[in-house]
Every structure is written in C-alpha cells, then in structure tokens.
C-alpha cells in the first residue's frame, strides 16, 4: 500500500483520466444501445475487380444491418498497393481510378466500413488487380447486351501467322453464347488482360463456363489466352474450360500448350482441348478430329454447322460417342465432359463436309468413345424429400463403366462421394447433409474420362428452402 498521499492522488488522477474512459468505451461496445441498433452492421466490399486504365466502380450494396435498419454511412479507403483515386468514397458505389499500368500485375487493397447511425462495422476489403500494359485494345463483346446466364466464347480468326482478324461465328452461336472477339497482334497475352478486365466489368460475379476458339493463326492467341487466364490469374469466375483449335497453323509449340492447359485447371473445373485439323497428326491429350484431304476452311465450316442439331443424322448429336463441335462445347449437352488427357484415346475423322460425317478413326489404336451425357432420374430440382426418402439415379450412359453419386452444398462444391457403382444407383436415401443438398451423378469411362449432369437441389422434409449462390452453375440445355 502506498503511504505517500501525493502518489495516491497521482494514481487516482491517472485512473480518472485514462482508464475510466476506456472502460466506459468497452462497456458501450459490449452492451446494446438503448432504443437503437443492437448489432453492428456488416460491410461487404463486393467481389474483386480487374482494371487497366479506365476507372471502375466498386459495389458495397451487399452491406447490411442484421437488425434490418438502413445503412447510413459508407467509408472507402486505400489500404495497400499503388496509389489510386477514390471518388464518391461516402457512397455504396465509389469510382476508383488513377491506375498506372506497368509491365506486371499490381494489386490494390481497398477497405469499406459502414454504419447504421449508431454502430460502425468491421472493415471488409476488396482487391483491384491492375493488369499489365496492353499495346492494342481490340477485344469487345460483339452481341450485346452481355447475358450473365450464358457461357462465353473468346474467339480469334485467321491471319498471316503473326497477326489476324476477329472470328464472329454465326447467329446460331451468337444466340447461345456471349462472344468476345477482335483483330489481334503479337504478343498475345495482352488479350487475356483485355478479356478479364472486360468480363470483370460486365459480370463481376460471373458463374458460367468459358471457351477459347482459334482458327488457323488464331489458334496461337486462343491457346496463349487460355493458358494466361488459367495460370496467371487462377480466378474461377474467369477460368477457361475448353480450348478449341480449328486447323491451327504456324505454331511449333502446340503440343506443349495443350499439355500446359490440361495440367492447370482452375478450382477443379473441367479443362481440356480439342483440335480439328486437316492433317493426320493427332495431338496428345486432346480430342482430335481430322478432315483428311479437306481444305483449310473445312474444320471451321464444320464446327460452325455443328450447332445446328437438325443437320445431324436423326438429330442424334451424341452419335454413339463419336462427336464434337457444339455438342462438347461449354454450352452443349456434353458441357461437363472432362476427357482423359494422359494419352491419345479419342481420334475421329470426317471424310466429307457434312454435319454427320464423323466416324471413329483406327479404333484398335485409338479406342476411346466419349461417355454419353448423364440423364438424371428422380426428384426434380427444388423438390422436398418426404419421410420415406428418395431414389437419386439416372439412365444408363453408353460407354460408362461406373456411376458416382455426388452431394454438395452448392453446384460448384460437389465434394461428397456418396457411392460408386457399376450401374446406376437404385437405393433409397433419407438423410441429406445440407439444406438444400445438391446432387448429381458422374460417370466414368474405361480411360478415365468423366461427365456429370447439372446438379439438382433436394430439401429435407422438415426444412424450408434456403437460397444459395451458385458459382459456375450451368443452366440446363
């Protein structure tokens, strides 16, 4: 115990001046405000964005007050990375500009704090990725408006073995896909930067698949862009799922580009290449279709016509496992196909320019026939399972050697393997791990290629439907 009154008095003054106000502040934060909000609001700075030189708007409109009150205060501020300019920093959608591109990727971190008039939220941050400098900005959406519920094609036409023109495709494709194209110049990685900035602006939370397509010289930018998007950015929103090369020429490194693409899928999504060529030289790890003796435009003309299903024999685009073109595109019935890429298994040919011309080439040497798309049988998506449970199954799939029943909390996370059988499952299931539980069946062929049906949602009988965000969800055809 202190005996000196002066020391005791000094300590008392320190307590009054410093410790009591801090204690009061702590108590005010810990206790609900009388007559006001009881819970602090939650800031949501929105999805990460990509930028070049043009300003972009961030989106904090997802911020909310758990008590249902309005958000009355927004405050955006720079945290790290290159200096930028923030306009309308006190609104939900500030304008971010002042970007200075360099020769490499730069990352800016920006934070948001919101208030409800009584309490302030914790910070939530968002990244703005500034892409490297681009010499030629030519890529654009040619069939606006952008439709976020449809897949996207990034296309490149023919050229002079260095530079080339746009590839617009026809109206059948334009009706079913967003198409981004433009003339191009070497170096080609700049078009990956242009595309990711454009998609980030058009659909910052994009959840549909993407395919690059290159004809002739265009095969080079198509392969470079696909690899750059998947390896440099690794963003599931803007990952490339299919790389299509139509009679690619002038490229001495095609084999290695295909191998690199196959080896670097993003977030487990399907990623594989297909090559349509007038030369009888199959590319390892790809679906190969050769047009023996055809002219240079035969592959691209056949590919464009493949979207018109009425041209196929009896409308059967599956063709007993010998197929390609639109059918295996990211918008076709086989959109969820992942072919085995460790060897050459699937090699087909077309001997005349006709939509139904494909047959298997040298089945003894290249025995693969693509597994048939899965047709689910059971409760429709959104159904409620009764107390008796439900049978979740599918039709038999041609060339399938196993059937795997998968569960997940949303279509992008089908991570639980419930069963794997040699025939479609036929047992009753009454317990489901999520609400809702998404389910699908994935089949596998003898060479390791797989395909699954678009997942369906099923709810437990004692729960109310819960809405979940679907990343990379693909609409039924």
Helix (H) or strand (E) segment spanning residue 273: strand 272-277
Q: Which residues on adjacent β-strands are paired with residue 51?
A: 130
Tell me the DSSP string of 155-198.
EE--BSSS-B------HHHHHHSEEEE--B-S--HHHHHHHHHH
DSSP label of 143: S
427: three-class secondary structure by DSSP? coil
Check pLDDT > 60 for residue 336. Answer: yes
What CA–CA distance (Å, rounded) separates 331 from 202?
Answer: 19
Check pLDDT > 90 for residue 62. Answer: yes
pLDDT at 46: 98
Q: Which fold has domain 49-130?
A: Immunoglobulin-like (2.60.40)
Same fold for the pair 49-130 and 376-459: yes
Q: Which residues on adjacent β-strands are paired with residue 184?
A: 164
Dihedral of the alpha carbons of 305, 307, 313, 317, in degrees to the nearest 10: 140
What CA–CA distance (Å, rounded) separates 62 from 110?
Answer: 16
Instruction: Note the pTM of the prediction, 2 decimals.
Output: 0.88
Domain-wise residue ranges, the chain: 1-31, 49-130, 140-360, 376-459
Q: Does domain 140-360 have CATH number 1.10.20?
A: no
pLDDT tier for residue 64 given thresholds of 50, 70 and 90: very high
Q: How many residues does the chain have?
A: 477
What CA–CA distance (Å, rounded) separates 257 from 343?
Answer: 15
Q: What is the pLDDT of residues 215-254, one digit of tens each?
A: 999 999 999 999 999 999 999 999 999 999 999 989 989 9
pLDDT tier for residue 35 given thresholds of 50, 70 and 90: very low
**Stretch 345-361: mean pLDDT:** 88
**Stretch 373-390: mean pLDDT:** 94
pLDDT at 308: 86
Closest-CA residue to 477 (of 338, 327, 356): 327
pLDDT tier for residue 477 given thresholds of 50, 70 and 90: very low
Closest-CA residue to 385 (of 331, 340, 334, 439): 439
What CA–CA distance (Å, rounded) separates 299 from 139?
Answer: 24
What CA–CA distance (Å, rounded) separates 293 from 277?
Answer: 10
What CA–CA distance (Å, rounded) separates 310 from 257?
Answer: 34
Q: What is the pLDDT of residues 92-108, one digit of tens each?
A: 999 999 999 999 999 99
What CA–CA distance (Å, rounded) separates 397 from 373?
Answer: 7
Tell me the DSSP string of 58-79.
---TT-B-TTSPPP-EEEEEEE
Helix (H) or strand (E) segment spanning residue 51: strand 49-51
CB 356 within 8 A of CB 320: no
What CA–CA distance (Å, rounded) separates 322 from 172?
Answer: 22
For the chain, the straight-line distance linking the first and the last C-alpha, in angstroms and rounded, comes to 83
pLDDT above 90 covers what percent of the chain?
81
Q: What is the pLDDT of residues 288-309, one digit of tens each?
A: 999 987 899 999 999 999 998 7
Q: Which fold has domain 376-459?
A: Immunoglobulin-like (2.60.40)
DSSP label of 309: G
pLDDT tier for residue 386 given thresholds of 50, 70 and 90: confident
What CA–CA distance (Å, rounded) separates 188 from 168?
Answer: 18
CB 200 within 8 A of CB 238: yes
pLDDT tier for residue 204 given thresholds of 50, 70 and 90: very high
**Stretch 84-97: mean pLDDT:** 98
pLDDT at 462: 63
Q: Which class for 11: exposed (0-12), middle (13-18), buried (19 or more C-beta within 10 A)?
A: exposed
Taking CA atoms, 233 is separated from 53, 130, 264, 273, 280, in Å, by: 18, 11, 11, 19, 35
Phi-psi region at 436: left, alpha or beta (left = phi > 0; alpha = psi -120 to 50): beta
Average pLDDT, the chain: 89
What CA–CA distance (Å, rounded) separates 124 from 111?
Answer: 5
What CA–CA distance (Å, rounded) separates 446 from 54?
Answer: 50
CB 345 within 8 A of CB 379: no
């Amino acid at each position: 115990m202190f005996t000196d009154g002066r020391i005791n008095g000094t300590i008392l003054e320190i307590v009054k001046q410093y410790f009591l106000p801090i204690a009061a502040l702590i108590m005010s934060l810990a206790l609900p405000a009388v007559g006001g909000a009881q819970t602090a609001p939650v800031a949501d700075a929105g999805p990460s964005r990509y930028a070049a030189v043009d300003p972009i708007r961030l989106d904090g409109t997802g911020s909310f007050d758990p008590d249902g009150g309005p958000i009355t205060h927004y405050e955006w501020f720079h945290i790290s990375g290159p200096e930028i300019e923030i306009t309308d920093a006190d609104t939900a959608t500030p304008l971010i500009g002042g970007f200075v591109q360099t020769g490499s990727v730069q990352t800016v971190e920006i934070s948001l704090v919101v208030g409800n008039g009584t309490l302030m939220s914790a910070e939530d941050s968002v990244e703005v990725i500034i892409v490297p400098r681009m010499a030629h900005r030519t890529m654009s959406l040619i069939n606006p408006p952008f439709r976020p519920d449809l897949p996207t094609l990034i296309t490149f036409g023919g050229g002079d073995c260095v530079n080339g023109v746009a590839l617009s495709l026809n109206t059948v494709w334009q009706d079913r896909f967003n198409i981004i194209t433009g003339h191009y110049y070497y170096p080609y990685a700049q078009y990956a930067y242009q595309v990711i900035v454009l998609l980030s602006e058009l659909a910052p939370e994009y959840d549909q698949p993407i395919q690059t397509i290159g004809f002739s010289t265009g095969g080079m930018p198509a392969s470079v862009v696909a690899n750059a998007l998947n390896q440099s950015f690794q963003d599931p929103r803007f990952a490339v799922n299919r790389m299509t090369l139509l009679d690619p020429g002038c490229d001495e490194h095609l084999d290695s580009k295909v191998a690199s693409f196959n080896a670097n899928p993003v977030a487990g999504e399907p990623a594989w290449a297909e090559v349509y060529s007038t030369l009888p030289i199959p590319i390892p790890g790809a679906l190969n279709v050769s047009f023996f003796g055809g002219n240079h435009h035969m592959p691209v003309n056949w590919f464009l016509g493949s979207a018109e299903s009425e041209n196929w024999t009896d409308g059967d685009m599956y063709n007993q496992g010998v197929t390609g073109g639109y059918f295996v595109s990211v918008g076709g019935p086989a959109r969820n196909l992942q072919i085995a890429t460790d060897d050459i298994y699937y090699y087909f040919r077309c001997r005349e320019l006709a939509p139904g011309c494909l047959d298997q080439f040298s089945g003894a040497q290249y025995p693969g026939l693509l597994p048939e798309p899965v047709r689910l049988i059971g409760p429709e998506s959104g159904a409620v399972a009764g107390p008796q449970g439900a049978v979740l199954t599918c039709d038999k799939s041609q060339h399938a050697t196993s059937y795997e029943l998968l569960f997940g909390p949303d279509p992008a996370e089908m991570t639980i393997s419930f069963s794997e059988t040699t025939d479609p499952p036929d047992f009753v299931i009454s317990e489901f791990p999520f609400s809702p539980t998404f389910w699908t069946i994935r089949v596998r062929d003898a060479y390791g290629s797989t395909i699954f049906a678009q997942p369906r949602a099923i709810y437990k009988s004692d729960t109310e439907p819960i809405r979940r965000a679907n990343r990379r969800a693909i609409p039924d055809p």
